[in-house]
Amino acid sequence: MLNRTYLKWLIIMGLVEGFSTLALFFVAMPLKYYADMPMAVTIVGGIHGILFVALIVMFLIGKSVVPLRSGLMWWGMFGAVIPFGPFLVDVFLYRMLKEADAG
């Protein structure tokens, strides 16, 4: 049986972590280099780091809780490392959720 609640939280966490990456790249880093505000990267980078670790842990737990296929779990963890990766992985997770609703 698919744990829909955990899968939804995994999708939400992927979105949050993905947007934290965008905030780091497109808000905090320009503030650091163009507005001489290095504290922006310190704050946003720290938040992003916590969200990154949380997403990795959620994928590891999701392997047994959802359950996720091993390939999707590894794809999710790899996707967390690359920019825009969480958004791509969320497409597969969302499809999984919709297939569960249809079946």
Q: Which tens digit of pLDDT belongs to each residue from 9-68?
A: 999 999 999 999 999 999 999 999 999 999 999 999 999 999 999 999 999 999 999 999
For the entire predicted model, the pTM comes to: 0.93
d(CA 87, CA 76): 10
- pLDDT higher than threshold 80 for residue 103: no
Query: Which residues are CB-neighbours of 21 under 8 A, at least 6 positions away?
Result: 48, 83, 84, 86
Taking the domains of the chain in order of start, what are their residue ranges? 4-102
Residue that has been written with the tokens 């969320």 in this structure: 90
